Amino acid sequence: MAMAVSAMAQDLDSLYQVFENNRGEVAYRAAVAIDEVIGREPNFEPTTDKDEIKLKVLRTMILHFFNTEDFQHVVRYSEIGIAHYEKIDDLFNLAGCYMTLANAYQRLGQFDKAIECYNRCSDIMDELGGDMAEVNKRYVMNNIAEIHLSMDEYGQAEEMYRRCIEMLGEVDEADTASNLDLATYYQNLAEVRIAESGRLDSLTRAQKLDEAVSFAQRSLDLSQRYHDTHHKIINRLTALSKATFQSGATEEGLKLMEEALRIAKENDDVFMEAVIYVQRGQFERQLQRNADAERDFINAISIAEENHFTEVLQEALESVYPVVRQRDPNKALDYLERSMGLRDSIFNENQQHLIRDYQVRYAMQEKDHELALEQAKTRQNRMYVIVLAIIAFLSGVIAVIWYRLAKVRKKRNEELQRVNQTKDRLLSIVSHDVKTPVGAICTVLRQMTNHYDNMSDTDRKASLVMMHTSAEALDDRVKNIMQWVRGELENSEIRRNSFNLSRLADDCIKMQVAAADAKTLKVVNEVEPSLTVNDDENAVSLVLQNLLSNAVKFSYPGGEIRVKAEEKDGRVWLVVEDDGMGITEKKLEKIFQFMTSSAKGTGGETGTGIGLFVSKQLVDKMGGEISIESVKGEGTTVRFSINKL
Look up the pTM and report it: 0.49
Each domain of the chain, given as residue ranges in start order, spans 69-169, 176-262, 269-347, 384-466, 494-643
Neighbours of 278 (CB within 10 A): 22
The reply to whether CATH 1.10.357 applies to domain 269-347 is no
Residue type, 335: Y
DSSP secondary structure, 61-108, as one string = HHHHHHHTT-HHHHHHHHHHHHHHHHHHT-HHHHHHHHHHHHHHHHHT
Domain 384-466, second-level architecture: Orthogonal Bundle (1.10)
Residue type, 407: K
Domain 494-643, second-level architecture: 2-Layer Sandwich (3.30)
pLDDT score recorded for residue 423: 60
pLDDT along the chain (645 residues), means of 10: 59 85 86 86 85 86 85 90 87 87 87 89 84 80 85 86 87 89 90 81 81 91 92 92 91 92 93 92 90 90 88 87 85 81 56 41 44 54 62 70 72 66 58 59 79 78 72 66 56 81 91 81 93 90 88 90 91 94 83 65 67 83 90 91 87
Same fold, 69-169 and 494-643: no
pLDDT score recorded for residue 585: 82
pLDDT score recorded for residue 261: 93
pLDDT score recorded for residue 344: 60
pLDDT score recorded for residue 369: 45
According to the 3-state scheme, what is the secondary structure of 420-473? HHHHHHHHHHHHHHHHHHHHHHHHHHHHHHHHHHHCCHHHHHHHHHHHHHHHHH
Domain 69-169, second-level architecture: Alpha Horseshoe (1.25)
**φ/ψ (deg, to 5) at 135:** -60, -45
pLDDT score recorded for residue 15: 86
